[in-house]
Every structure is written in structure tokens, then in C-alpha cells.
Structure 1
Amino acid sequence: MNLCINNKCHKPQNSDNNTFCSNCGSELLIAGKYRVLNQISQDGYSRTYEAQEIADSQSKPHKILQVFSITDSGEIELLQKIVTALQIIDHPGITQITTDSYFTYLPRNSTSPLHCLIIDKISGITLDEYMYKQDYHPVDEYLVLKWLKESVNILQLLHQQSILHLRINPQNILLKDDGNLALVDIIAVNRTKSSDGIAYSPYIPPEQFNNSPIPQSDLFALGMTFAYLLTGKEATKDPDAYQSDETKLKWQSFVPNMNKVSQLPILLDSMMAHAPIQRPQNCQVVLDSLDSFAKSQISSPHAETIISQPPKSQNSKLVKLLFLINWILATITGVTLGGVIGLIAGWCVSFLLGAAIRNVSTGIILGGVVFGLTTGLVTGIMQSWVFWQCGYKIKYWILLTTLGFAIEGALGIAIGNYNYGEKIMIVPGIVVGISQFLLLKNHINYSFLWIFINILGGGLAILVHWQMRDILIGKYQFFSYILGLMAFGLVTGISFIKLQIDKPLLEVS
């Protein structure tokens, strides 16, 4: 069999003697020396083939040919950067790429070339094939630890070159003939372009579905893969095994003979956390945890694993504390800075428009809108920055926060709250809470509580402001507003951490 790689050819099968495709006329000899034997896989943006060099074909090992159907200049540049970066990596778990591995191929009657990558085929079986051959019997914990460390070491080399795999699963981890592992299907061009082009897979984390992959996305997929090895329960066939059960995932109950003191399930659970903030921050954190396992392990591979301390990856409390501090600072900075700028801009607008249209009330209301727009924009940007720092990228957060504050600005003037400055926090607690709820309702558990949380935060802020205003005198009274905003940030920040992420969050616009 001799295949045509033209992505528009409807009959790619050709006889071995053909030089050109009998259907579309495209050349069958790729790069002047490779014939395509069969197709291995396909997704929305690329196809993978098995090929062979025609010179001395009997002794030449088979090759893997990846063909990318991309036309966007940014995607092409990304592919070329990944290929260049992979040339630097020299590891037996990653197929070596040379300068002539990448080339383009122009099908017949086409103006857009296909981008091709030819690499050596690694001899071995996938972990999925391995599990099938042993009738899905759970893999021994000692072997899982060995393989997990190998995989993370390989993944760390990719991440150090700013390469995300984004397709880790049991089909893309290979058990080589020498007993070691290799990662395959590394080129991830266009896997971040649109969630519409990503088929559902339990190995893909929430943020990747929504166009915001990060290094922890690969750790999620790796955790799912190795939980499968421990249980024999494949996530696509037994999804119920990976549902949450109170404080842990149910999959642990399917692990036979798991050492009661083993920290491996805790580590894998953290890697599979829905929220990136709850996962290990990088590969080194996972490797440090695995090293602590090894140091605590009794010499016999079948003896119980004794852990003197929890793995370092369980620093989620520190991560959550940093999120809370940054959230409070972002709220204070956003509202204060935005409020000062907005107050000046709003006053100018209310004065100029009021004079122009000869309607003071309308001018003042428009000034309130400008005040709200400015405050909401700065606050939304600051809060989005905190999300971004923690791995969240929430689409339209800035827009809806700005909109909420703008409506609050208009309502605040219309109902006279700005005549009584102490009431200012109550309105945004309602309006901003509702506007952000419209965004979060499909993505966090009990999202309706976010409205009440904002109202509660606003009420507490006013209470703190009232109390501290009577204590602080003179120029120090300004700090009563800061303390009020701190209370508002504390309530909303803690509440956001407590609301467990249930569905993927969206990308910031």
C-alpha cells in the first residue's frame, strides 16, 4: 500500500508502483525518499503516518511522518520554534529531531503547502496496549513510581524548552523494548487554538479545553494516566471511578493492596486537581515528592512504603494563602486607584456635560457612570492578573466587572447613595456580584452564592469603615476605607477559594 498525504484527496490508497496519486495527481514520494505505508491517527489539525525510506527499504527502520494542515502564520512559526527547540533535547525518551526532519510538501493543484515532520519510529508498545495485554491488571506500585519518575523527567526537559505536550494519555506514552518509557506525539501545534477543535478526553484538563493550557495541564494528564495504571480503570471506559467522593477521588478505592501509608495517591490526586492552583506548580515539585518516597522506602520493592512527611507538592495551603493576599491587594489597589482616577474623570464629565446639555442631574449621573467604568476597569484588570498568576484565565471577567461597576455608578447617583458615602459599598456588592455570577454560573459549584458573598463583603466593608472612621481621626480617616476594602477582599477571596471548581473556566478576553 502506498498512501497519498494530500488532505483533500478522497481516495489516497495507491499501489506500490505508483509515483503519483491515481486520484489527485499529488506526488507519492515524500521529500524524494519516503513512501507512506499507513495512517496511524488523525485530529483536526494533523495526521500521523507510518513511512519508510525507499533506499535499502528492507534494512531501514520505519519512520513516523506527522503532517500539519496549518496556514496561519502564527501557527507555522510556533511549529518551527518547537522543532528547533526539540533539536536541543537529547534524551532516549524523546525521538531525536535533526535539521532535515522538518520540510514542506505541496499537493497537486494546491497553493498552501503541508508542513511535515519525519522522525524515527520508537520500537515498543503503548501503555494502553500494555494494560490490554495483561488484561487490565493493576500495575505494581513500585513499577508505577519508577515509570512516573521517568515520565516527569522527560516532561521537565520539554517544559524547560517552553514546550507543552498537551496530549499525554496512555496511547502517547511508549514502553520501549528496553523497559524504559518514551513520550510520543509531542508536537502540539493548534491544540490551543480553539476548544471546538479539541475532542473530549478525560485526560485533558479544564483550562486546556478553554484555550488556556499551562505546564500544569500536562501534569493533570500524567496523573490521570498513572491512576489508570494503578487501578486498571481507564477513564474513558470507567469515568465514574474518577468522580469526586467527599475529600478524595473515588479511584483510590480501586487500587488493590495499596500501602496504607503510601503518599502516591495523594500526589496523583493533587496532579489531577481541577483547579491548576491546586496542582504541583512544576515538574520539579513532583520529582522532589518522588525522591522523598524513595528515601523513605524499605529496600524491598514489595515492602510497605513508609513516609515520614507528606510530599512537597502538598503546599496548596501556601498557594491559597498567596492567592488570598494577592486578591486582597488587587481589590484595594483596583478600587482605590480606579476610584481616584474615576472621581476626577467623573467630576469633569458631570461638570462639562451638565453645562453642555443644561441638565445638571443627567450630567452627574453620567459622571457616576464614568466613575464606575474607571473603577471597574482597574479592579477587573487587577483581579484578572491574580487569576492569571494562579493559572485561571477567565473570559470576560474584566468586561463584566467593569459593567457591574458602571451600573453601580449610575444607580449610586440615581438613588442618592453618593450623597452618603458610607453606603457606596452596598450597591457594587449587589450589581458586581450579579454580573460576575452570570459568568461563573456554569463553571463553579453553588455559583449563586457569589452574589450573596459580594453583598456580605460589601456590608462588612461598610461596617469596618464606620467603626474605624470613629477611631481614626484627621488625615488617618482615609485608612478606614482601606480597611473596609481589605475586609471586602478577605470575604470574597476566601469564598472564591472555597467554591470548588466544577467545570472549566474560560479564557480572559
Structure 2
Amino acid sequence: MSYCLNPSCPKPVNHPKSKLCKACGNKLLLHGRYHLVKGLGKGGFGATFLAADLALPGKPLCVIKQLRPNTDNPNFLSMARELFEREAKTLGRVGNHPQIPRLLDYFEDREQFYLIQEFVKGNNLQQEVKKEGVLNEAKARQVLKEVLIILRDIHAQKVIHRDIKPANIIRREIDDKLVLIDFGVVKNQVNSIGAGGSNQTAFTAFAVGTPGFAPPEQLAMRPVYASDVYALGVTCMYLMTGKAPKNMDCDPITGDIDWFKYAKVSDSFAEILTTMLEVAVKSRYKTAEEALRALDLENHVDSLSESMLSFPNTSEPPNTSISGRSRGGNSRRNISSSSRTSHTSVQSNSTSRYSRNSSSRTSVGNNNHTSASKVSNAPAKPVKITAEEILNAYASGRKDFGLKDISLQDLQKADLSDSKFHNSKLVRTNLQGADLSRTDFAHCDMRQAMLRNADMSKSFFKSCNLEGVDLRGTNLNNSNFKNTKLKGANLCGANLKDTNLTKEQIEEVKTNWMTIMPSGKRGFW
């Protein structure tokens, strides 16, 4: 068939051999060489078509993008013409990338502007999800890394794509490589000319990306490189859940998308996606390169952690017990899931050489500590325990979990109020939504822990390491942060009223206008 380019044509489909449209009389052959086969889609400022190039041997297929300025104003058309040429040159520059369609031609015809691009055969990622189902974490990681590399390359040319979404990422049939398409709304950071005095081009003034995938600053017409990072984060979220952002719940405090309940994802990968999806630009990865480094580092850290956890602690003495009750007369307890029972408690055996030092409050007697200190002056090593053992111990009335290693455990929404975790290790522990009010975390290592929306009011963090911790929406009212390390912590939407946080500490963390500062004012010291 032949397709008519007239935007107002009532019946654009014609016979393949027709030269003129039967409905409106418009010429069907564009620029004397392009035979339009079918329409591919329409947007607010134009349409896309599949066409055959009759001027080349074999009549290869190509994609034609028709840009339609919706005005008869001659001044606007003159500006649109100049800006269209600038946009075309930008597309020609980024089109040299092997995973971006090449720009083949561009021209104006009857006050309509056309971009001719290479046709990429394959399914886009939206089609893949609908046909084959959602992606697992491993496949989502592959997509993320491959597209981040493409974005890194176009950002290096000072170009922002502005419309990253599953439908604009095609898996090329010939080699399975991902190809980023639809650069019709790119923003050239260097060469943009204001339309009516603004910093937006004539076309970007209409096309600001796809709702749900575009971040707030882009919808406010102030896109940055991090805008593409956000949109790619939403794309990965869609690939793993099959749900569009509009169909997911949103945190009423922080504005974040609550997507974790729809997908099975590791804490480390979730942390990277969470940073990509930060509403505030200053809290997000600033560039694709920065996100790539985080992804590579996360893979390295995960491999290192797995290799360390795969070997038992051979230095642990045979008479160490995690429970006050031993089974079968054996005082050493295996901490595997097969040996956990409802009688489990978290109390060290009175003969354990892992007694606390004098700066810690413990349930072990002073005589044991004295004898232990005579044996060695080395600092005591935290005893590794599981989330189940913590919960069972707390349910039985024990609240002292000092000098324990609870890293990587899942204690989401747990009630552990009034507990003591002094000198314990909680690296990357999930305590999201937990009740930790009036809890002692003195001298703890809590780096990169998930504490989002937790109640930690009136808690004690003296000399605690909270670097990189997620405290978004957390209630920290009246908590003590003396000598606490907070570099890189996320306190967006957190309640910091009546805490002793200093200005120096606040400068090291991420906050937003929803953060209640120590003064009680939102967003202001």
C-alpha cells in the first residue's frame, strides 16, 4: 500500500501503485524517492512512517519522521527551520554510534520537516515483555549496562535523549544488540537556541518525554544528563515488573515509586535502581558513567561478599553458643537455617572468648570479661546471627544484641524498639519500616543499611557509621548523632527535629524540601 503524508487526510491508505492520494490529491512519493509503506506512530508534534527508498538498489526500508509545527506564523516557521537543521546535525553526530540508527537524510517539503533514518529490524523491549514476560534480575542488569554505555557515549557529545523508555529500545534481530531509537526530542546542550527567549528549541518545547518515565526537572523543561538516568531506571523497573509507573503506588512522603513489592531483586541491585530513581537530581547518579561505575563496583562487592561468606569462621572457639540452650549437649551451635528453633536466643555462652570490651554494655559477667581480656588485647569480633534468631530472642524478652553481626539480614517491619545493638555490625541490613525507637546503636557499623520509613525516634547513634544509609522518610526525632559518620546518607523526607545534627553533618547527606531539619522547618536549617 501507499500512505499519504497529509496530516488532515481522512483516508491516508492508498493502492500501492497510486501516485496521488484518492482522498485529498496529495502526492504520495516523498522527495521523489521515498514510498511510504505504513504509519508507525503519531505524537504531539509529528508522525513516524516506514518507507522504501526507491533511489537505492534493493529499495531498502527506512524510517521517516515528519515534524509538524502547528502554526502558520512565518516567524515561528523560520525559527523552526533553523532549529530543525540544528537538531538534524545533532542526530547526524550521534548516529555514528553502532547502536543508534544512522541519519540518512533530512529536508523540508511544503513547510513540513523530515528526518530519514536507518530502519532497525527487531522487537522493542516493551514488545518483548508483553510477549515473553518480565525479565529476571540478571537480564535486567544486562539491559541496564548495555544502555548505560550507549547513554555514556551520547552524553559525552553533550546530547540528552529525553525519551528513554522500553518502546524506544530495540533488540536488533541480526545480532541481539540493543539499539536506542527515537532521538526526535533530543536536546543539544551546547547549540540550543531559545524559542521566545527560553532555552528550549521549537520542538523540545512540545516534546518533553513520556509521562511516568520523565523525571520532574524534565517535565519542568530543565532536562539534565541525570534525566536520562532516571528514565532508564524506570525502564528497568518496567522490565522487571511489567507495570507502568502510573499503575504503581507512590510514597506520599518522598514521592518515590514503591515498586519493590512487584519484583524479586537483590538489595544491592535495588540500591542502584533506587539511586537512579531519586526524585531530587542532587541525590541521583549525575551521569550514565557514574551509574556504570556503581554497577561495576556492586558486581565486584557482591562477588567478594559471596566468597567471604562461603568459608566458615575457623577461628570461632568450640565452646561458643548462640543460644542459652544447647542441643544434645553440644555447646557450639551451627547457625544454618536447619538448626534454628523457636527456643533460639541471642546470648553468648558464659565461657565464650568473644566477651565484650569495657566500653560495651553486655549480659556477660565482669569476671568473664576480665579473664577474656587477660587472654588477648585484640578487639572482640561480632558473632554472626540471623534475622530469625534476632526475632525469636526479642519475642522471648531479650533486647541486648551487642557485638553481633547482622549484616545482609532482612528485618523489614520488625518491632525491635528499646533494643541495644552497641558495637554490632549491620552493613546493608534491611530494616525498612521497622520500629527501632529508643534503640542504642552506639559504635555500630551500619553502612548502606536500608532504614527507609523506619521509626528511630529517640535513638542513640554516638560514634556510629551511617555512611550511605537510606533514611528516607525515617522518623529520627530527638535522636543523638554525636560523632556519627553520615557521608552519602539519604535523609530526604526524614524527620530530624530536635536532633543534635551539625551543619557539617547535614552538608554530607542528601536532603530535600520534605526533610524536617533540627530547627523543625522543612528543607531549611
Normalised to the residue count of structure 2, the TM-score between the two structures is: 0.52
Amino acid at match of 2:108: T
Residue 268 of structure 2 is matched in structure 1 by 263
284-293 or 185-194: bigger deviation:
185-194
Rate the CA distance shift 1:246–1:217 in 2: closer, same or farther, 3 A: closer
Q: CA offsets per residue over residues 96-118 of structure 1, 9 Å max, x none?
A: 224xx111112xxxxxx111011
| Pair 315,128 (structure 1): closer, same or farther in 2 beyond 3 Å | farther
- DSSP 3-state at the match of 2:160: coil
Work out whether 1:158 is the aligned partner of 2:154: yes
Give the match for residue 20 of structure 1.
20
> Once the two structures are superposed, what CA deviation does each residue of 1:319-359 show, in whole Å capped at 9, x if it has no partner?
xxxxxxxxxxxxxxxxxxxxxxxxxxxxxxxxxxxxxxxxx
Which residue of structure 2 aligns with residue 282 of structure 1? 287
| Secondary structure class of the residue paired with 1:227 | helix
Equivalent residue, structure 2, for 1:94: 100
User: Which residues in structure 2 correspond to 1:213-252 (within 5 Å)?
Assistant: 213-236=223-246, 238-240=247-249, 243=251, 249-252=257-260
In structure 2, give the amino acid aligned to 1:68. L
CA contact (8 A) 2:172 2:179 kept: yes
Gaps of 5+ in 1: 107-112, 318-443, 454-485, 501-509
CA-to-aligned-CA distance 1:170-205 (integer Å, 9 cap, x gap): 1111112222211111121656315xx668621122
1-structure distance, mates of 2:258, 2:81: 42
The superposition leaves residues 21-64 of structure 1 with CA deviations (integer Å, 9 ceiling, x where unpaired) of: 2333332111211111111111111111111123578x443211
What displacement does 1:263 show?
A: 1.9
Residues 56 and 193 (structure 1), Cα distance of their counterparts in 2 relative to 1, 3 Å cut: closer
SS for the counterpart of 2:278 is coil
Change (3 A) 1:125 1:316: same
Contact persistence 1:61–1:120 (CA under 8 A): no
Higher share in helix: 1
For 1:130 and 1:202, locate their aligned partners in 2 and report how far apart those are by CA, in whole Å. 20
| RMSD across aligned positions (CA) | 4.1
* 8 Å CA contact retained: 1:82, 1:163: no
Tell me which residue corresponds to 1:383: none
Answer whether contact 1:79 1:187 (CA < 8 A) is retained.
no
Distance 1:245 1:265, change over 3 A: farther
Q: 1:16 to 1:264 in 2, by over 3 A?
A: same
- Tell me, yes or no, if the aligned pair for 1:4 and 1:26 is still in contact at 8 Å: yes
How far off is 1:5 after superposition?
0.9
Instruction: Deviation per CA, 1:183-230: give whole Å up to 9, x if none.
Output: 111121656315xx6686211222222222222221111100001122
Contact 1:49–1:64, Cα closer than 8 Å, also in 2: yes
Residue 132 (structure 1) aligned with residue 130 (structure 2): yes
* Contact persistence 2:253–2:514 (CA under 8 A): no
Q: In the superposition, relative to structure 1, how do residues 45 and 316 fare at CA in structure 2: closer, same or farther (>3 Å)?
A: farther
The answer (yes or no) to whether the contact 1:155–1:283 under 8 Å persists in 2 is yes
Partner of 1:482: none
Query: Which residue matches 2:165?
Result: 169
5+ residue gaps, structure 2, are 70-75, 187-201, 311-407, 409-426, 429-446, 450-465, 470-491, 498-502, 518-525
Quote the Cα distance in structure 1 between the aligned partners of 2:283 and 2:2.
Answer: 49
Contact 2:163 2:210 in 1 (8 A): no
Deviation at 1:247, TM superposition (A): 10
Matched residues in 2 for 1:298 and 1:316: separation?
20
What is the CA–CA distance in structure 2 between the aligned matches of 1:215 and 1:315, rounded to whole Å?
26
Q: Residue by residue, what CA displacement relative to the aligned partner does 1:367-410 show, whole Å, maximum 9, x if unpaired?
A: xxxxxxxxxxxxxxxxxxxxxxxxxxxxxxxxxxxxxxxxxxxx
Q: What do the CA deviations read for 1:231-283 (whole angstroms, capped 9, x no partner)?
A: 233324x232x546879742112222x33xx4221121121122222211111
- 1:74-113, Cα deviation, whole Å (9 max, x unpaired): 4433332232233333222101224xx111112xxxxxx1
What residue in structure 1 maps to residue 179 of structure 2? 182
Helix, strand or coil for the counterpart of 1:293?
helix
- 8 Å Cα contact 2:493-2:514 kept in structure 1: no
Higher RCO (CA 8 Å, separation ≥ 6 residues): 1
Displacement of 1:126: 0.7
Distance 1:179 1:187, change over 3 A: same
Q: Which residue of 1 aligns with 2:108?
A: 104
Distance 1:315 1:181 in 2: 36
1:192 aligned onto 2:209: no
TM-superposition CA deviations, 1:407-454 (whole Å, max 9, x none): xxxxxxxxxxxxxxxxxxxxxxxxxxxxxxxxxxxxx999xx9xxx9x
The number of residue pairs the alignment matches comes to 313
